[in-house]
Amino acid sequence: MSREDFMRQAIDLSGERMRAGLGGPFGAVIVKDGKVIAEGSNQVTSTSDPTAHAEVVAIRAACKVLDSFSLEGCEIYTSCEPCPMCLSAIYWARLDRIFYANGREDAAAIGFDDDHIYQEIPKALELREIPTERLLAGEAWLVFAEWQEKTDKIMY
């Protein structure tokens, strides 16, 4: 299959699942060695989960298929440019490459505007819209120190 075929599959998935009432018009497939190993569609409204974006759903499915938290060697094809949350998940999962169809401006034009989040990220904590306050850092550091000394930890 070609890159265009994989993208068509993500786009088709976005429409099929949207028409089925599962969520917004977003689909994604993850490919390894020229084969689709997982797919995902937006399920925010059908699962009442604001993190159930197509890319995150696909990442979760691919990790189960590969029994790994790392998706190195995989590519993601998504019907829309990933939002900040999905982009972060893609980086955490270590996908090799991102292909997308609609851009963030296209998503904004139909009511999915992530620009506010993009604007919030670089702000100092005290300037962000959602108040953020640090509590019990010393107590929390004790657990970090324990992790640092743990001999059987699995780094990710």
What whole-number distance in Å separates Cα of residue 10 and Cα of residue 27?
Answer: 5
Amino acid (one-letter) located at 84: P
Residues shown for the chain: 156
The three-class DSSP label of residue 121 is coil
Residue 55 annotated among the catalytic residues of the structure: yes
Cβ atoms 98, 76 nearer than 8 A: yes
Q: Are strands 27-32 and 74-80 parallel, antiparallel or unpaired?
A: antiparallel
Q: Which two tokens stand for residue 62?
A: 């691919």
Of the candidates 4, 16, 39, 55, the residue annotated as catalytic is 55
Catalytic residue list = 55
